[in-house]
Amino acid sequence: MIQLKPPFSALDFELLYRIVAWHEAGHLVQFDRFGIDAAARLEFGLGGKLLGAITVGDHQGLTSQELASVGWVGLISESINSCTLAPQHELPALTASTVADWVRQVRSKFRGMMSNADWAMVVRCRDPLAAAETAFKRVLQVSA
């Protein structure tokens, strides 16, 4: 959940909506890749709260690596589409050659940009970098 601090403008709401939409779309694309039914929703609440959520079908058959790629893909989708709250001067641009550095920076400085649910999927796998690379490649395939 992302929350704006008042006063906020229509542009603030638009930016937040886009960020959360890209994030949830990334999750949908990755679940679709694994043949899992999923649906996303975005809701504005009182006080500037914006909630993005995914309803997921049976995903018990996914490996920890596959689930970790689902965990990474929301933030990756935001970054690839230049629609994130991360300070751009601190988080490296996300390209095929910078995925490892990007993952290291997110894990050390920007952990708070991932939901607890996304983070839980990432830390349960044996190779978070490989999972992020898988997610990155999938987002590029869809964006092309």
Least confident of 2-6, 10-14, 45-49, 122-126: 2-6
Which is nearest to 77 in space by CA: 34, 135, 38? 135
> How does pLDDT run across 33-87, given as a tens digit for each residue?
999 999 998 887 766 677 788 888 788 889 999 999 999 999 999 888 888 776 6
Structure tokens at 124: 């349960």
> How does pLDDT run across 80-108, given as a tens digit for each residue?
888 877 665 577 788 889 999 999 988 88
Q: How far is the first Cα of the chain from the last one, in angstroms, to the nearest whole number?
A: 29
Which is nearest to 53 in space by CA: 28, 75, 30? 28
The number of distinct structural domains making up the chain is: 1
Cα separations in angstroms, 19 against 7, 26, 62, 84: 19, 11, 26, 6
**Domain assignment of residue 94, given as a range:** 2-143
Q: What is the pTM of this model?
A: 0.83
